[in-house]
Amino acid sequence: MRWKQFLTPIHSVDAETARSSLQAPGVDAEIIDVRQPKEYDQGHIPGAKLIPLPQLQDRLQEIDADKPVYVYCAVGGRSRVAAQMLSSQGFAEVMNMKGGFKAWNGHQAIGAEELGLELFDGLESFAELLKTAYGMEAGLREFYTSIASRVDDGDVRELFETLARIEEKHTRRVFQAYLQKVDDQVDESTFSEQIVPQALEGGQTSQDYIDRFAPDWNKPEEVMELAMGIEAQAMDLYTRAAQRESGDAREFLEQMALEEKGHLQQLGQMLDRMLGA
């Protein structure tokens, strides 16, 4: 089974193309803002409906699937994941607005919009699923630890230290599942170092990932944008993987998706507090 099929292709358009399309006569489209409420309050595209990314999965029924759907955020990271989620749920015409609201206002967008984690590729068994999940959680733990060491804001640093500890618990739980369901003789050191590549995306380390997206560490909102995109992608991957499994595998994946959703909500709440300060 090829799990790469779960990474639903999306269509992205630049801000000028989106503006022209939305202003064309007779166009009736949904515009979805997946930022946080404080960001929306500070300015948004006219007619846009606010559905923060952490809430999107629970509010799909509020979006008309028969209309074209334009999705945007601050710079394009969160909206790309949101567009992927909508496409995977059967929305036929979804456009991610590259550059986000900053580009709409004529500003240069910061950071990249492609926040994909192509981890579930070529898995053929529950054992392989657990190995990849372990690698994903270990990569996230390393990534959050790296962020915590780079940011100056005390509250942001504390949040990412907490997230790193949670990912550490996840890796242990995945390993315990491997012991119970696959091989009770392997030790975690061997499992971690020889079986599972600790990477975030396609073999990349957390440093590679940081270098690729290069957020401004003195701007907490950019760090949060990156982290929310990663957590949303993880939640989406686990959710869609669970839909194609049964039994132990499905239960495991659903629980992981639920916990990633909780992380995403934590990040959203932190961003709201930052913007309200």
The 3-state secondary structure of 119-132 reads CCCCCCCHHHHHHH
- Point out the domain boundary residue: 104, 138, 162: 104
Active site annotation includes 73:
yes
Residue 111: which pLDDT band, with cuts at 50, 70 and 90?
A: very low
Indicate the helix (H) or strand (E) that contains 56.
helix 53-56
Instruction: Find the CATH number of the domain harbouring 66.
Output: 3.40.250.10
> Is there a domain that residue 269 lies in?
yes
Indicate the helix (H) or strand (E) that contains 195.
none
> Is there a domain that residue 76 lies in?
yes
> Is there a domain that residue 209 lies in?
yes
Q: How many independent structural domains does the chain possess? A: 2
pLDDT tens for each residue of 27-79 = 889 999 999 988 888 888 888 889 999 999 999 999 999 999 999 998 888 89
User: With the C-alpha atoms ordered 260, 266, 267, 269, is the resulting torsion angle positive or negative?
Assistant: positive
Question: From its phi and psi, is residue 90 left (phi > 0), alpha (psi between -120 and 50) or beta?
Answer: left
| pLDDT, greater one: 211 or 18 | 18
Is the CB of residue 213 less than 8 Å from the CB of residue 111?
A: yes
> Is there a domain that residue 120 lies in?
no
Question: What is the token pair recorded at 16?
Answer: 């000028």
User: Within this chain, do residues 154 and 267 fall inside the same structural domain, yes or no?
Assistant: yes
User: Within this chain, do residues 50 and 155 fall inside the same structural domain, yes or no?
Assistant: no
pLDDT recorded at residue 58: 93
pLDDT tens for each residue of 214-270 = 667 767 777 777 777 777 767 777 776 776 778 887 888 888 888 888 888 888 888
pLDDT tens for each residue of 75-101 = 888 898 899 889 888 898 999 999 899
Residue 13: which pLDDT band, with cuts at 50, 70 and 90?
A: very high
> Is there a domain that residue 160 lies in?
yes
- Point out the domain boundary residue: 104, 134, 159: 104
Instruction: Find the CATH number of the domain harbouring 173.
Output: 1.20.1260.10
Is the CB of residue 51 less than 8 Å from the CB of residue 78?
A: no
In this predicted structure, the answer to whether residue 109 has a pLDDT above a threshold of 50 is no
First to last CA, the chain: 48
> Is there a domain that residue 154 lies in?
yes
Residue 134: which pLDDT band, with cuts at 50, 70 and 90?
A: confident
Across all residues in the chain, what is the average pLDDT? 78
- Dist CA 176 CA 205 (whole Å): 24
> Is there a domain that residue 37 lies in?
yes
In this predicted structure, the answer to whether residue 190 has a pLDDT above a threshold of 60 is yes
User: Within this chain, do residues 253 and 155 fall inside the same structural domain, yes or no?
Assistant: yes
Residue 17 CB-half CA count within 13 A: 11
pLDDT recorded at residue 62: 94
Count, in order, helices (H) and strands (E) of the chain: 11, 5
Parent domain of 240? 126-276
- Dist CA 235 CA 248 (whole Å): 18
Which is the catalytic residue, given 7, 18, 31, 73? 73
User: Within this chain, do residues 266 and 216 fall inside the same structural domain, yes or no?
Assistant: yes
